[in-house]
């Protein structure tokens, strides 16, 4: 049996192209790089302390984390709430103007604290992404799948960050471009805003707080979407391995000159390996759901509220005004946030459904009865597609995104009629 395993492994290793080997020699860490951009954003806001720091640097970073939470997050949210309480006139209008911003900031603060609290679970997810059954890739096709999905995750993160950055820039530049002594967000500070020193210190505080909030949203959302794409990656790799079982058996028997009994043993090894890989994917998906289900639930609740209120405010603005442009970018960020969750949650469903058809299309006739029984059981399990975040009330798929848009439109019509 050990000789059979060694034979299979040697053939798998020989099938890896020289191009892949050269790539790993040039940059061995790149192939196991897991969502590094998202974790870089977390480090910038104090939500992810780097590993292997000296003790004195750990203390400094912990103090930085506390200062970011208290000074940037809590103070910014409190000043927004106080602006509503201490509004001298037209308190309802002040509430309508900043409620969507306040809710977004509250959810951003929750995301940062949540990531700090769930660090161990997130580390388990990272380890699951670079487990030995997935890295290094066994052939050029697997390497192509891994590279394609890694690049996709990186592009999504950068695109999302660019859109959020444009929205942030439009918001903070508004007072400067129009030379108005009005803060970016209607907030209350215990000083006279008409005084230059008070205005610019408040403006700087708001800008840093909004920047930290934006980074928290981008980092958390891209991390969840990135892990979701990792599930798609693993499902695609498993599909490829299942489809290549018959070819590997024929190739191994021809090159290693094994007897019928030894070939059957190799067949069992290959199929058992695929079953173990599928179990690992199911465990990874379950851990991802349990780790981030609260964030997804809150995100959907916040998203519904913010989209409704933002569309309502847009309807009251001139389409060519600067305020309309800034608010439109903000709405685009929120829609992209919801769309990414729903689209890649739906991709997991489709890829896990494809696994069922892949098992069905295997050449069963050439396999022994025991192997057929194992594949049949695996196919029965795969007949129920992987659905992430089942406990988040709303299923994370494209139907959910369409329902969100419909609900937002209905709520917008209701607000229009009531006003």
Of 142, 80, 67, 145, which Cα lies nearest the Cα of 112?
67
Give the pLDDT confidence score for residue 155 in this predicted structure: 92
**Angle subtended by helix axes 260-315 and 91-117, to nearest 10:** 160
pLDDT score, position 204: 86
Instruction: Please tell me the predicted confidence (pLDDT) of residue 270.
Output: 80
pLDDT under 70: residue ranges of the chain:
1-33, 72, 74, 86-97, 133, 135, 179-180, 248-263, 391-393, 415-419
pTM of the entire predicted model: 0.84
Give the model confidence (pLDDT) of 212-243 as tens digits: 889 999 999 999 999 999 999 999 988 888 88
> Domain limits of the chain?
33-418
Rounding to the nearest 10 degrees, give the CA dihedral for residues 283, 284, 290, 293: -140
pLDDT of the residue at 263: 65
- Do residues 234 and 277 make contact, with C-beta atoms less than 8 angstroms apart? yes
pLDDT of residue 358: 86
Half-sphere exposure of 346 (CA within 13 A, CB side): 13
SS3 28: coil
pLDDT of residue 28: 35
């Amino acid at each position: 049996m050990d000789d059979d395993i060694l034979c299979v492994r040697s053939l798998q290793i020989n099938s890896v192209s020289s191009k892949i080997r050269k790539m790993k020699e040039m940059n061995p860490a790149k192939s196991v790089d897991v969502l590094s951009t998202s974790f870089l954003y977390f480090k910038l806001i104090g939500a992810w302390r780097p590993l292997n720091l000296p003790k004195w640097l750990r203390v400094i970073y912990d103090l930085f984390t506390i200062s970011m939470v208290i000074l940037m997050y809590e103070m910014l949210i409190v000043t927004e709430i106080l602006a509503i309480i201490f509004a001298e006139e037209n308190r309802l209008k002040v509430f309508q103007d900043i409620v969507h911003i306040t809710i977004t900031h509250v959810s951003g603060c929750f995301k940062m604290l949540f990531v700090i609290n769930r660090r161990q679970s997130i580390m388990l997810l990272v380890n699951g992404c670079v487990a030995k059954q997935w890295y290094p890739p066994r052939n050029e096709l697997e390497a192509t799948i891994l590279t394609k999905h890694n690049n996709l995750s990186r592009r999504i993160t950068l695109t999302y960050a660019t859109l959020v950055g444009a929205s942030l820039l439009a918001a903070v530049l508004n007072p400067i471009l129009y030379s108005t002594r009005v803060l970016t967000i209607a907030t209350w500070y215990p000083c006279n805003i008409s005084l230059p020193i008070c205005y610019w210190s408040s403006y700087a505080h708001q800008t840093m707080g909004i920047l930290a909030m934006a980074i928290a949203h981008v980092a958390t959302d891209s991390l969840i979407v990135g892990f979701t794409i990792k599930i798609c990656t693993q499902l695609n790799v498993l599909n490829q391995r299942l489809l290549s079982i018959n070819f590997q058996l024929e190739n191994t028997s021809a090159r290693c000159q094994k007897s019928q009994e030894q070939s059957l043993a190799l067949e069992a090894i290959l199929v058992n390996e695929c079953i173990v890989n599928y179990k690992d994917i199911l465990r990874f998906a379950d851990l991802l759901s349990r780790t981030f289900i609260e964030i997804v639930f809150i995100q959907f609740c916040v998203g519904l509220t913010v989209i409704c209120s933002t569309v309502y405010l847009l309807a009251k603005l001139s389409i060519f005004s600067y305020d309309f442009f800034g608010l439109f970018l903000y709405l685009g960020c929120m829609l992209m946030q919801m769309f990414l969750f729903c689209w890649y949650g739906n991709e997991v469903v489709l890829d896990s459904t494809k696994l069922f058809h892949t098992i069905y299309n295997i050449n069963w006739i050439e396999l022994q009865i025991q192997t057929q029984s194992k594949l049949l059981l695996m196919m029965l399990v795969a007949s129920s597609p992987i659905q992430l975040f089942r406990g988040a009330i709303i299923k994370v798929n494209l139907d959910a995104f369409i329902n969100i848009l419909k609900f937002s439109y209905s709520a917008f019509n209701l607000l229009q009629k009531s006003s």
